[in-house]
Amino acid sequence: MGLVICPTHGEKIIMFVCPHVSIAVVFHTPCHNIEWCAYSAANDPELSDISLGCWFCRCCITEHNLPPHGSVIPDPEEFLGMQSRLYQPMCPDCFKEWQDCGLGDITSA
């Protein structure tokens, strides 16, 4: 786990969001129906603890055919290679404040 240095909150444990959520948080604009998707790499014992978690907007999930939350990624390196530009680092406190303002509603299934 890396750290992100936020100008407002200082050093924080990094979290990931898609580029659209990232822009929405920075500019304090709404981005609704976001979804938390975490993937695991259970097939590889060395990587089994790694969970690739990210908040995605509806567009990213549809456009990139992202697997549903909880999916096992057979080849995490290839997956991250293909999807890495979707994983934007984010300060968890900024994200929380943005959500607290009602700007990032979560999809309710």
What's CA 84's distance to the chain center, in Å?
11
C-alpha 18/C-alpha 22 separation (Å) is 6
Alpha helices in the chain (DSSP H): 19-27, 58-63, 76-83, 92-100
> Could you say whether residue 91 binds Zn ion (CB under 5 A)?
yes
CB nearer to Zn ion: give 73 or 90.
Answer: 90
Residue from 15, 16, 17, 20 touching Zn ion (CB under 5 A): that is 20
Among 57, 66, 73, 103, binds Zn ion (CB under 5 A): 57
The residues that touch Zn ion, with contacts defined as CB under 5 A, are 6, 8-9, 18, 20, 57, 60, 91, 93-94
